[in-house]
Amino acid sequence: MKPDMNKPIDFVMIWVDGADPEWRKEKAQYDGSVVTSSNSEVRYRDWDNLQSWFRAVEKYAPWVNKIHFVTWGHLPPWLDTTNPKLNIVNHKDYIPEEYLPTFSSHTIELNLHRIEGLAEQFVYFNDDNFINRPVNPEDFFKNGLPLDVGAINCTYFGKDSAGFFHAADLVVINSHFKKKQVMKQHWKKWYHPKNGYMNVLKNVLLYPWLWFPGFYNQHVSNNFLKSTFEKVWEEEFEILDETCQHKFRKNGDVNQWVMKYWQLADGKFNVRRGDFAFCYHVKRKNFNRLCEDLKNQTHALICINDNAKTEDFEEKKQQIIDIFEQKFPEKSSFEK
């Protein structure tokens, strides 16, 4: 199905080459770390599959209006920056000067709406979020609203978790929205079967709570309205400004999920099937399932999330590269 070109959809991808010596040198000036080559493999290891992200976009989402590739300044040597669909965005091109330099993903994400030429409707990707099969514009936006899973959840606080950031997000949301009123007003969305049986059940069981205890996070690409960012900055400038003043992520920060939560609480979303996307936190037990998903296209969107529990990294990395080579044997127009 062809997209409505009167309502273009952009993709935004942020990327940092963590092994870049100049980037690490600048980072060390602010965090006091010692720049050596000995710690690069674990701390800055790369799956080397960014080319496959571009190939997947061109093959499965050729209707995309523009790709905004956000970077500190480094670029992959194979990237064809002359592609008319590609907009190279340096941090200094859109992030206010008082927040620079930044080594916090929160600052990079919370200011995305400032990218010059960004469409009102955009999909935000981390470099571990992939399109896994053909998708349509209506899988991301419908009738001018982003598609999402409408589900309440309890915020998880664990070691190295994002719980503290999500809690800060919820302070903002609960200051502006009354949970019961929201769920009653938009009940068709919150109790829609597309959300999935377990998510609907959670919505029922958590309905008595007067406030939002959390939202269901799939850890995949997110669909945003640029106007949502503008609205939240207008309403909560102080907390967003404080977050962006931090050079590194800090407990008490809000993050990009506050924009997603705002859209949900404001009823500005349409329901998408919960099984449309899936995040694989790569571990020994689920790696084979991830590989099968890539081959069989079980989910339209997937996240290949590296973490401390990822074992035999180099071996797994090569297996993923081999699968991507089979899926996308030809270069995309984004490659030289």
Give first-to-last CA distance, the chain, whole Å.
30
Instruction: Please state, in angstroms and as integers, the Cα–Cα distance from residue 7 to each residue in 19, 84, 111, 225, 271, following that order.
Output: 38, 19, 22, 11, 19
pLDDT for residue 160: 77
Question: 0.85 cut: is pTM over it?
Answer: yes
Helix (H) or strand (E) holding 225: strand 222-225
Cβ count near 257 (within 10 Å): 21
130: nearest Cα among 304, 307, 320, 282: 304
- Residue 311 has a pLDDT of 82
**Which pLDDT value is given to residue 134?**
98
pLDDT reported for residue 34: 54
Distances (CA, A) of 84 to 2, 81, 209, 258: 20, 8, 50, 32
CA angle 133, 136, 142 (to 5 degrees): 140
What's the residue count for the chain? Answer: 336
Distance, CA of 306 to CA of 202 (rounded, Å): 28
CATH architecture of 9-327: Alpha-Beta Complex (3.90)
Q: What is the pLDDT of residue 183?
A: 96
Domain ranges of the chain: 9-327
pLDDT, position 6: 67
Give residue 288's pLDDT.
Answer: 93
Cβ-count burial of 47 within 10 angstroms (0-12 exposed, 13-18 middle, 19+ buried)?
middle
Residues of the chain with confidence (pLDDT) below 50: 1-4, 35-43
Q: Mind listing the pLDDT tens digit for each residue in 187-219?
A: 999 999 999 999 999 999 999 999 999 999 999
Which pLDDT belongs to residue 44? 56
